[in-house]
Amino acid sequence: MNPINNPYAPGAGTRPPELAGRDELRETIRIALERVRAGRPTKSILMVGLRGAGKTVLLGRMRDDAETTAIHTMQVEAPENRSLPSILAPEFRQALLRLSRNARAVELATRALRGLAGFAKALKVRYQDIEVGFDFDPEPGLADNGDLEHDLQALLEVAGAAAKSAGTALAIFVDELQYVQEDELAALITALHRTGQRNLPVVLVGAGLPQLPGRMGRAKSYAERLFDFPIVGALSAEAAAIAIVKPANDQNVHVNSDALERIIWETHRYPYFLQEWGKHAWDAADASPITLRDVEVASRTAIAALDESFFRVRFDRLTPLEKKYLRAMSELGPGPHRSGDISDQLDREVTSLGPTRGQLIAKGMIWSPSHGDTAFTVPLFDEFMKRIMPGNDWKQ
């Protein structure tokens, strides 16, 4: 069918035509934000899920939801190689400038902007990547110690006080939170703990890979009590069906039930794969309805497309030894696997592979569901590894 009308949207953070199966989580966040605004004790929420599960688009939608109810939001993505203060500072500035336009908040928001100026100046020595415009001079003694834990706490407190005076809340959305350094996570946790104790309306809505709860716990042992960690996983069969059928039906295209079943089976109900299969099935079909035969064609082209993009970009960032490690894992199946079983595949000692495993965790390729276990963070990566490194040559 005409590719111009193809509704499906595979891509990183690309909004799907139908955000299926996430109403419950959106409602959870809505309630949390309203509780924060009302000054009631509320846990911050960190959503965890595998690659392509739909965390980024969900965060984006939640932010839109919040904005429509006049909650003040900030949104950042933690990249692998930048400091948390450097990514937060410019967003803080925008949020505080917006707050300062509210007559009730102008005084406290201005004070918070002074705090931000002190924060950025004092921390620039340690975090040279901080770049933020100054609207006011710093207030001596306010968030300007040069110590992240202390200064972030002070900054969140004045910002929270400003939001409170405007009758709103400040919701900080952070994606890819697992990339934030542990000491910076610790500072963030402490600061949120503090605003919580003082009933200030500040809340974190984060997203990250499954290693995130463990990282938070290591950063501050009490983190587990401060946060909820809902899982953003594969969709239910019902939601997966909606994700495929609704966008087609909206254009008067029917999807045969055996075709739909095949898509659900092939994709394991993972959002990214559903979009990819939907797109290719649409392109394969000549006209409505989309048939099983179309999906069979789509399976080949969809896998080829994933191999070229979704899987490939991750593979290309690996060293030869890291590739070997993941190939050995895939030999054992989808996982999780015991570290000993993986090293046996490679005829190596577990300890000698420790650094490789550590690098793969840092790159967000694998995680450890429990001590000594290792699992992929990318769904179906085991099958990809076998396609890209076929045969037994990798064992040498």
Q: Which residues bind ligand ATP (CB under 6 A)?
A: 9-16, 18-22, 49, 51-57, 243, 271-272, 274-275
Bridge partners of 296, per DSSP, are none
Cβ-based nearer residue to Mg ion, 56 or 83: 56
Cβ-based nearer residue to Mg ion, 56 or 195: 56
Cβ-based nearer residue to ligand ATP, 7 or 146: 7
Cβ-based nearer residue to ligand ATP, 178 or 345: 178
Cβ-based nearer residue to ligand ATP, 138 or 379: 379
Query: Measured from the CB of residue 173, what is the shortest distance to ligand ATP in angstroms?
Result: 12
Cβ-based nearer residue to ligand ATP, 57 or 306: 57
Bridge partners of 124, per DSSP, are none
- Say which entry of Mg ion, ligand ATP, none residue 171 contacts (CB below 5 to 8 A, set by partner kind): none
Query: Measured from the CB of residue 296, what is the shortest distance to Mg ion in angstroms?
Result: 30
Q: Which two tokens stand for residue 14?
A: 């690309």
- Say which entry of ligand ATP, Mg ion, none residue 263 contacts (CB below 5 to 8 A, set by partner kind): none
Query: Measured from the CB of residue 214, what is the shortest distance to ligand ATP in angstroms?
Result: 17
Query: Measured from the CB of residue 303, what is the shortest distance to ligand ATP in angstroms?
Result: 16
Conformational region of residue 16, where left means phi above 0, alpha means psi within -120 to 50, and beta covers everything else: beta
Cβ-based nearer residue to ligand ATP, 92 or 277: 277
- The closest residue (CB) to ligand ATP is 54
What whole-number distance in Å separates Cα of residue 28 and Cα of residue 161?
A: 24
Cβ-based nearer residue to Mg ion, 196 or 208: 208
- Say which entry of ligand ATP, Mg ion, none residue 206 contacts (CB below 5 to 8 A, set by partner kind): none
Query: Measured from the CB of residue 9, what is the shortest distance to ligand ATP in angstroms?
Result: 5
Stretch that binds Mg ion, among 55-63, 65-73, 185-193, 352-360 (CB under 5 A): 55-63
* Among candidate residues 335, 339, 344, 341, the one with its CA nearest the CA of residue 385: 335
- The closest residue (CB) to Mg ion is 56
Query: Measured from the CB of residue 313, what is the shortest distance to ligand ATP in angstroms?
Result: 10
- Say which entry of Mg ion, ligand ATP, none residue 321 contacts (CB below 5 to 8 A, set by partner kind): none
Give, as one character, the DSSP assignment of residue 231. B
Candidates 44, 56, 195, 343: give the one binding Mg ion (CB under 5 A): 56
- Say which entry of Mg ion, ligand ATP, none residue 221 contacts (CB below 5 to 8 A, set by partner kind): none
Cβ-based nearer residue to ligand ATP, 155 or 281: 281
Query: Measured from the CB of residue 283, what is the shortest distance to ligand ATP in angstroms?
Result: 16
Rg (CA), the chain: 23
- Say which entry of ligand ATP, Mg ion, none residue 49 contacts (CB below 5 to 8 A, set by partner kind): ligand ATP
User: What is the widest separation between alpha-carbon atoms in the chain?
Assistant: 71
**Contact between 229 and 69 (Cβ < 8 Å):** no
In angstroms, how far is the first alpha carbon of the chain from the final one? Answer: 47
Query: Measured from the CB of residue 303, what is the shortest distance to Mg ion in angstroms?
Result: 21
Query: Which residue pairs from 82-85 have beta carbons closer than 8 angstroms and sit at least 24 positions apart in sequence?
Result: 82/129, 83/127, 83/129, 83/130, 83/181, 83/184, 84/148, 84/180, 84/181, 84/184, 84/185, 84/187, 84/188, 85/119, 85/120, 85/123, 85/127, 85/130, 85/148, 85/152, 85/184
Query: Measured from the CB of residue 20, what is the shortest distance to ligand ATP in angstroms?
Result: 4
**Residue 291 touches Mg ion, criterion: CB under 5 A:** no
Bridge partners of 375, per DSSP, are 367
Are β-strands 373-376 and 72-77 bridged in parallel, bridged antiparallel, or unpaired?
Answer: unpaired
Q: What 3-state DSSP class applies to 175?
A: strand
* Among candidate residues 21, 29, 77, 79, the one with its CA nearest the CA of residue 54: 21
Query: Measured from the CB of residue 305, what is the shortest distance to ligand ATP in angstroms?
Result: 12
What whole-number distance in Å separates Cα of residue 367 and Cα of residue 268?
A: 20
Cβ-based nearer residue to ligand ATP, 22 or 164: 22
In sequence order, the 6+-apart residues with CB closer than 8 A to the CB of 91 are 74, 75, 76, 172
- Say which entry of Mg ion, ligand ATP, none residue 210 contacts (CB below 5 to 8 A, set by partner kind): none
What whole-number distance in Å separates Cα of residue 343 and Cα of residue 268?
A: 28
Residues that bind Mg ion (CB under 5 A): 56
